[in-house]
Amino acid sequence: MTEAKIRTEEMLLNMGPQHPSTHGVFRVVVRTDGELVLESESHIGYLHRCFEKCAEGNNYLQVVPYTDRMDYLCAMMNNWGYAVAVEKLAGIEVPERAEYIRVMVAELNRVASHLLAFGTYGLDIGAITPFLYAFRDRERILKIFEKLCGQRLNYSYVRIGGVTFDMTEEILADIEAFCDYFDPKIIDEYDNLLSYNGIFISRTANVGVMPADLAISYGVTGPSLRGSGVQRDLRRDAPYGIYDRLEFDVPVGTGEMGQLGDCWDRYMVRMREMRQSIRLVRQVLRDIPEGPFCDKKAYRAVKPKAGETYKRVEGARGEVGFYIVSDGTNIPYRVKARAPSFSNISILDKLTSLSDVMVADLVAIIGSLDIVLGEVDR
């Protein structure tokens, strides 16, 4: 029988919302021909928790815990983004020490978030061990955060006007110990374990190639955009906090294992970013000043004048933006959150139609975009 006589049929396959490798409740409907994905259509909204409506019903301070729950893997950056926006609206000065503490916790949180991305990406590809390694080290960071604010996940630590609790000497020592433990020994271990693993490279290199102009048009930001070789980092391009005083590099994708902008590049940007984050934390540890940790008045209540503002910070997944409209009361009139994962995942349908993608590659692409569904749906 020649090949031409074999009749193949297209099939409509439903992945999710309950699927182990979609990182939550994300649903993709794929039209497949055998193993090949011809077309895909993403459906979101299975975790729509009405953040914006909740924000309209609570006062400015009470909104902070809701921002945690948007992107629960890097809650500090969400808190920060919201705090920056409100501070600009209300004209609140943040004490110097608070700015340093913010950078420190945000960068540690970025490491924790990238560690989880690393671990679960291994799981998606079929490597179970990295997951256990990643959690081992993530627990160390969580332990520090727990000492700091009593929570393991949704910290609400960065608040309007500063931070909630002061940093103690003991915690600073813990953080220093963690930095020494983690960089470079452990990251090198990860690179040996997964990054330069032959099977891993063949699963991810040249898969899901994302050209830079397309990525920008789809609003992709953060490590996923940098994986395509675009030098874009809000910490450097539009510095907030004290980032303009600190030294760090912005790693971008190089295309060393295949084409520029493939899954491996996106993955590797995260691994390199972790080193930069540790570098930032070390600098902050070196020059953290003494002083108050929060603006006294803003600690109790915030009441900005009428007006509106849009502020963004660089989260672990991209640009976290908040558009806040105030009508002069202590309850925000409208809070709109720009969630990076929301834009990042919208490119998925395009990526599957660009090239021949297998079903297993689809999982690799979703994993490399590193989405958090709480943020996609808000």
Partner 1 sequence: MSELENRNPDPLTKNVVFLTAVDDIINATRANSVWPLTFGLACCAIEMMATGAAKYDIDRFGSGPFRGTPRQSDLMIVAGTVTHKMAPRVKRLYDQMPEPKYVIAMGGCVIRGGPYVKHGYHVVKGVDLLVPVDVYIPGCPPRPEALLEGLFKVQKLMKREKILDRTRRTTKPEVYHAVYPGLILRNAEDGIWANHWGSQGEAARGVGGGGHRWRGPVCGRQGRGVGRRGRALPR
Partner 2 sequence: MVVKAEAWAAVAGLCRDDSRLGFDLLSCITGVDYPEREDGAEIEVIYNLDSIANHHELTVKVKLPRDDPRIASVEEIWRTADWHERETYDLLGVVFEGHHNLVRILCAEDWVGHPLRKDYEPPDSFHGIKNVIY
Give residues in contact with partner 1 (CB under 8 A).
17-20, 24-25, 45-50, 53-54, 56-58, 61-62, 64-66, 69, 72-73, 116, 119, 131-133, 135-136, 138-139, 142-143, 146-147, 149-157, 159, 164, 373-374
- 203-242 residues near partner 2, rule: CB under 8 A: 213-214, 216-219, 221, 230, 232, 237-238
Rounded CA gap, 262 and 367, in Å? 12
321 contacts which partner out of partner 1, partner 2, ligand SF4, none, CB within 5 to 8 A by kind? partner 2
For partner 2, the binding residue among 333, 354, 359, 360 (CB under 8 A) is: 333
120 or 228: CB nearest partner 1: 120
57 contacts which partner out of partner 1, ligand SF4, partner 2, none, CB within 5 to 8 A by kind? partner 1
- 193: tokens are 């374990």
Question: Is 338 one of the binding residues for partner 2 (CB under 8 A)?
Answer: yes
Question: Is 311 one of the binding residues for ligand SF4 (CB under 6 A)?
Answer: no
Question: Is 203 one of the binding residues for ligand SF4 (CB under 6 A)?
Answer: no
Closest CA to 13 of 359, 370, 295, 268: 359
For partner 2, the binding residue among 12, 18, 48, 180 (CB under 8 A) is: 48
Rounded CA gap, 358 and 33, in Å? 10
CB of 73 to ligand SF4, least distance (A): 12
Which residue's entry shows tokens 């916790």?
A: 105
Question: At CB < 8 A and 24+ separation, what contacts does 210-217 make?
Answer: 210/261, 210/262, 210/266, 210/347, 210/351, 211/261, 212/261, 214/347, 214/350, 215/261, 215/347
- 262: tokens are 């493939």
Question: Is 69 one of the binding residues for ligand SF4 (CB under 6 A)?
Answer: yes
- 257-316 residues near partner 2, rule: CB under 8 A: 310, 312
HEC readout, 205-270: CCCCCCCHHHHHHCCCCCHHHHCCCCCCCHHHHCCCCCHHHCCCCCCCCCCCCCCCCCHHHHHHHH
CB of 350 to ligand SF4, least distance (A): 31
Rounded CA gap, 68 and 81, in Å? 11
Question: Is 378 one of the binding residues for ligand SF4 (CB under 6 A)?
Answer: no
Rounded CA gap, 209 and 160, in Å? 40
- 170: tokens are 């003991």
312 contacts which partner out of partner 1, partner 2, ligand SF4, none, CB within 5 to 8 A by kind? partner 2
CB of 321 to partner 2, least distance (A): 5
217 contacts which partner out of partner 1, partner 2, ligand SF4, none, CB within 5 to 8 A by kind? partner 2
For 315-372, the DSSP string reads -SSSEEEEEEEE-SSSS-SEEEEE-HHHHHHTTHHHHHHHS-EEHHHHHHHHHHHT--
Question: Is 338 one of the binding residues for ligand SF4 (CB under 6 A)?
Answer: no
Using CB under 6 A as the binding criterion, the count of chain residues that bind ligand SF4 stands at 2
- Packing angle between helix 96-125 and helix 75-90, nearest 10 degrees? 150
Helix (H, G, I), strand (E, B) or coil at 14: strand
Rounded CA gap, 233 and 218, in Å? 17
164 or 254: CB nearest partner 1: 164
214 contacts which partner out of partner 2, partner 1, ligand SF4, none, CB within 5 to 8 A by kind? partner 2
Rounded CA gap, 257 and 204, in Å? 9
Question: Is 182 one of the binding residues for partner 2 (CB under 8 A)?
Answer: no
According to DSSP, the β-strands at 357-358 and 36-43 are antiparallel
Question: Is 321 one of the binding residues for partner 2 (CB under 8 A)?
Answer: yes
Give, as one character, the DSSP assignment of residue 285.
H
Q: Which residues contribute to the site for partner 2 (CB under 8 A)? A: 44-45, 48, 50, 52-53, 56, 213-214, 216-219, 221, 230, 232, 237-238, 310, 312, 319, 321, 323, 325, 333-334, 336, 338, 342-343, 346-347, 350, 377-378
Q: Which residues contribute to the site for ligand SF4 (CB under 6 A)? A: 69, 154
